[in-house]
């Protein structure tokens, strides 16, 4: 919740950092992207959110995401 709007002013950060590792990508997005809304006050779909969720699943389960979902 919160984050950026899905209108023409914003671009999903998922596509702004080609060539980075997963850890580098997460750090770049968190360091470089300002929130447009306070957390918990709006909602929009985010590819980055699902990417981040996949990394959380890997940390919690100790498995690669693809292995866990299968």
Greater pLDDT, 62 or 12:
62
Answer yes or no: is 54 within a domain. Answer: yes
Answer yes or no: is 51 within a domain. Answer: yes
Answer yes or no: is 64 within a domain. Answer: yes
The rounded distance, in Å, linking the Cα atoms of 47 and 12 is: 7
Answer yes or no: is 58 within a domain. Answer: yes
pLDDT for 3 equals 58
The rounded distance, in Å, linking the Cα atoms of 17 and 8 is: 19
| Tens-place pLDDT, residues 42-52 | 887 889 989 99
57: Cβ contacts below 8 Å, ≥ 6 apart: 63, 65, 68
Answer yes or no: is 3 within a domain. Answer: no
What predicted TM-score, i.e. pTM, was given to this entire model?
A: 0.70
Answer yes or no: is 61 within a domain. Answer: yes
The count of domains in the chain is 1
The rounded distance, in Å, linking the Cα atoms of 18 and 14 is: 9
Greater pLDDT, 11 or 15:
15
Is 3 exposed, middle or buried, given 0-12, 13-18 or 19+ CB atoms closer than 10 A? buried
């Amino acid at each position: 919740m919160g984050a950026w709007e899905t209108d023409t002013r914003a671009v999903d950060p998922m596509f702004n950092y080609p060539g980075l590792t997963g850890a580098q990508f997460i750090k770049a997005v968190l360091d470089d992207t300002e929130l447009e809304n306070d957390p918990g006050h709006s909602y929009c779909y985010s590819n980055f959110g699902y990417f981040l969720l996949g990394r959380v699943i890997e940390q919690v389960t100790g498995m690669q995401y693809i292995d866990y979902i299968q």
